[in-house]
Structure 1
Amino acid sequence: MPNRTRNILMLVLFLDAAAMSMIIPALPHLLVDLTGSTFGEAAVLGGLLLASFALMLFLCGPLVGNLSDRYGRKPLMLMAIGANCLDFIILTLSPLFWPLFIGRILAGITGASFTVAGGFMADLTPKEERASAFGIVAGTFALGMVIGPAIGGYVAVFGIKAPFAVAALLSAINIVAIALMLPESLSKENRRPFALARANPVGAFSAVTGDPVLRRLVIAVLVFAIATQVFPVIWPYYTVEAFGFTPLMTGVSYTVLGLAMAASQGVLVKVSVAAISEVPTVRYAILCGMATLIALLFVTNGRVFLAMIPLIAVTFVVAPTIQGMMSNRMGEDRQGELMGLFASLTALSMMIGPILMSGVFQVFTDADAIVYAPAAPFALAAILMGLALYLFDVAEIRTAYPKPQKDLASEGE
């Protein structure tokens, strides 16, 4: 039953990610049609919509997590997919711009499906396998986010609103699949009373501050997440500025990155943790990320840049591995709370990272820049990763998560 449930859960997550990303190619054109704005102005409006989603996710992620610890994962998953479906319906039918904020805010409040999916996987997976399980969740979501835009671009030939209608249909199918096929994973004995004081970002963080190991891991995750925002934020601009990529080439390169991320999180996490355990996996992945970012400062050829994508993807094993480490340290009745805290951290990085990275990019590519360096945001990201490594790779964490010792007697048999 756990394996069947996991397979259904991954299908639900993939379809939701594909629906969410399917609207990306058509969204700028929809905003232009609704507002009569230029594409530059539409980009600002799209940023406001994303910011409203991120803000609600930051504020309400812990609320969703705590509710799932009290009432179970399935009702919250239905609520998350349902809010996404409503968001897509509004995008499809609204003749005005401002109602789009209602959909984005509702989707942010429910926390998105990946928040609840983490709770599902924690319930279904033994502690020693949770890092790889969270890697599969992240990899599945990344794969859906890669496939979705390709589908959306194709569907858009039937009309600018067609991708939004198809996304709503996929979400509706998902709701039926969850209701009929996905069983509840949280047993009644592992449920706990709902506490409003912990159902917010401050309360969720306070709930882990009593444990110095968890506190340090939370801060390391946030710093690392801000660093990795350099890729979605800067990639489309950097590839054009540095290498003169066409929109097609930029799209292809980003798709390759997404596929490499999915493989890294879905496969490499499991292999690495099994071989060298969690702490060395995180340490070497961050070091690989720092080395790659520094190397990007000296790359002047687009083909060399493309060849480095697998090294960039290795970096993305860090978050699910630390998530697994933290999950193992939390009680079985607090897994949803942890996933909600991760949602808040992700949203906070989505608010801070773009401002930092885009600001640095503008300063170092401006016409009167003292030094022309379009890769400068990668330097900032490398510094942040170094800080995350400093926060993570300390004795108290190595002591809390020792490398498992092999049974020499059993090896000799």
Structure 2
Amino acid sequence: MIRFVCFVAAHCMNRTFWITALISFINALSFTILIPVLYLYGRQFGLTDFQTSLLFSTYAVAQFFATPIIGKLSDRFGRKPLLIISLAGTVVANLIAGTAATAGVLFFARFLDGITGGNASVAQAIISDVTTPANRAKGFGIIGAAFGLGFVLGPALSLLAQQISLGASFLVSGAIALIALVTTIVFLPETLKVKADRGNLFDLGLGNLIKGLTIPKTGILLIINFLTGTTFAMFTYAFQPYFLHVLNQSNQSLTKMFFLFGIVGVIMQTKGVSILTRKLNLGTILLLALFVRSLSFILMPIWVNIVYFVLVSIFFSLFNSLVQPMISTLISLNSRPEEQGTVMGLNSSYLSVSNAFGPVIAGLIVNQSHPETYAYPFYLAGVLTFLVLALAIKTRKQYQVN
């Protein structure tokens, strides 16, 4: 934590950037506490693998429709009020989820968290407001590192909360989101200098979900983001039952794996992004990261051995942590300043809906009665990611910046 703060202090563009990075870290910590327990919590309510995949998708579908609205509103009314609303929704939703008595209440809580969950896109818009184009990749890399650090500490806190109950993880997550909420209210200044024309108050950006795909340069990046998000969501869902049922590992070991992913991601996003951006352009880094991701997906289930799986996972985590910062940076650099909230909302929205499709696809493929099927989503995700890589190579001239 101390090294991360020192890194940010040395590289951040201003005080507001540092505050936003801190809020992003706290928010990521709240989010990553839930990742190791959501599948297990759903099974605790008697849900099947497929029904548990719908639990993942409920949150993602709600975010798909909500994030462009929140992004559009942040362009009209400012970043701070929308970030406050988003964080408050997370606090309430996790309180409901942690005390849920039925699966229906749990589904409602995940929907509520999703429908108010535009905090990541608003934070990205803030970074776009306070960074120069030359420093933007580094800025998004630091925000990615904040998320990665949350990925390190979140599973550790989750492991402690699980000693009480799985539901306690949601309560701890809500408490941490409350800290981010208070920090935003007290310390974060408004960063939007020029507000967008309010126009029709009922035009809140849903139409942009389709129109956004036709935006020059940005549209193809949204498509790439959606496709890469879908394959990654397939892996994220399939990873947990594969690790538990095929590799025969414990819940605690699963949480430790997420802890490892976080450590590797922080190393790459704090050190690797700065090194790579000095030697390679953003498009080349994205292509390299997609290649390694697709290859890793295919390699992971080839040999059912925990040591082998961990080694491939480390290799995967190093380069996978580059994908989202590169896409976000390219989208930001290809968009006008007054549209940053809107395009970042679209970016988060398409990433969210990919998180809806991915778990459902994986949930339909796997069958608990046949453990060998838990490897199938890995292979499918690898093949599909290779196809996304081919698309990114073919369309590279459309989104590349000098």
Task: Decide: shared fold, TM above 0.5.
Answer: yes
In the alignment, what sits opposite 2:85? 79
Local SS of the residue matching 2:95 = helix
Give the CA deviation at 1:44.
6.8
Given the alignment, which residue of 305, 316, 320 partners 1:315? 320
In the alignment, what sits opposite 2:22? 11
Q: Percent identity?
A: 25
CA distance in structure 2 between the partners assigned to 1:204 and 1:336 by the alignment: 14
Whether the 8 Å contact between 1:146 and 1:258 is mirrored in structure 2 is: yes
Whether the 8 Å contact between 1:72 and 1:186 is mirrored in structure 2 is: yes
Given the alignment, which residue of 137, 144, 160 partners 1:138? 144
In the alignment, what sits opposite 1:408? none
Q: What is the identity, as a one-letter code, of the residue corresponding to 1:299?
A: W
Cα 1:21–1:378 shift into 2, 3 Å: closer
In the alignment, what sits opposite 2:233? 229
Give the CA deviation at 1:206.
0.4
In the alignment, what sits opposite 1:407? none
CA distance in structure 2 between the partners assigned to 1:337 and 1:293 by the alignment: 32
Whether the 8 Å contact between 2:57 and 2:357 is mirrored in structure 1 is: no
CA distance in structure 2 between the partners assigned to 1:295 and 1:397 by the alignment: 27
User: What do residues 97-119 of structure 1 show as CA deviations (whole Å, max 9, x unaligned)?
Assistant: 64445543332222342121111
Q: Which moved more, 1:332-341 or 1:10-19?
A: 10-19
CA distance in structure 1 between the partners assigned to 2:202 and 2:279 by the alignment: 40
Q: Is 1:334 aligned to 2:339, yes or no?
A: yes
In the alignment, what sits opposite 2:180? 174
User: Superposition pairs for residues 14-413 of structure 1, below 5 Å?
Assistant: 14-23=25-34, 39-41=45-47, 47-91=53-97, 98-157=104-163, 162-187=168-193, 189-193=194-198, 199-211=204-216, 213-313=217-317, 314-362=319-367, 366=370, 374-394=374-394, 397-398=396-397, 401=400, 404=402
Q: Which moved more, 1:275-284 or 1:43-52?
A: 43-52
CA distance in structure 2 between the partners assigned to 1:216 and 1:14 by the alignment: 29
Local SS of the residue matching 2:303 = coil
Whether the 8 Å contact between 1:64 and 1:340 is mirrored in structure 2 is: yes
CA distance in structure 2 between the partners assigned to 1:329 and 1:376 by the alignment: 37
Q: What is the identity, as a one-letter code, of the residue corresponding to 1:401?
A: Q
User: What do residues 324-364 of structure 1 show as CA deviations (whole Å, max 9, x unaligned)?
Assistant: 1111111101111111111211211111111222333439x
User: What do residues 62-119 of structure 1 show as CA deviations (whole Å, max 9, x unaligned)?
Assistant: 0000000111111111111111112233345666664445543332222342121111
User: What do residues 19-73 of structure 1 show as CA deviations (whole Å, max 9, x unaligned)?
Assistant: 23435667688778xxxxx554387776554333222101111000000011111
Q: Which moved more, 1:85-94 or 1:118-127?
A: 85-94
- Please list every run of 5 or more consecutive structure 2 residues that lacks an aligned counterpart in the other structure: 1-11
CA distance in structure 2 between the partners assigned to 1:29 and 1:226 by the alignment: 22
CA distance in structure 1 between the partners assigned to 2:358 and 2:170 by the alignment: 28
Count of residue correspondences: 390
Local SS of the residue matching 2:192 = coil
Local SS of the residue matching 2:191 = coil
Q: What is the identity, as a one-letter code, of the residue corresponding to 1:259?
A: I
Q: What is the identity, as a one-letter code, of the residue corresponding to 2:311?
A: A
Local SS of the residue matching 1:218 = helix
Q: What is the identity, as a one-letter code, of the residue corresponding to 2:257?
A: S
CA distance in structure 2 between the partners assigned to 1:209 and 1:18 by the alignment: 35
In the alignment, what sits opposite 1:35? none
CA distance in structure 1 between the partners assigned to 2:400 and 2:34 by the alignment: 42
CA distance in structure 1 between the partners assigned to 2:302 and 2:50 by the alignment: 32
Whether the 8 Å contact between 1:114 and 1:141 is mirrored in structure 2 is: no
Give the CA deviation at 1:201.
4.6
CA distance in structure 1 between the partners assigned to 2:122 and 2:19 by the alignment: 14
Whether the 8 Å contact between 1:28 and 1:42 is mirrored in structure 2 is: no
Whether the 8 Å contact between 2:59 and 2:113 is mirrored in structure 1 is: yes
Give the CA deviation at 1:198.
6.0
Give the CA deviation at 1:16.
2.1
- Please list every run of 5 or more consecutive structure 1 residues that lacks an aligned counterpart in the other structure: 33-37, 405-413
TM norm structure 2: 0.85
Give the CA deviation at 1:266.
4.0
TM norm structure 1: 0.83
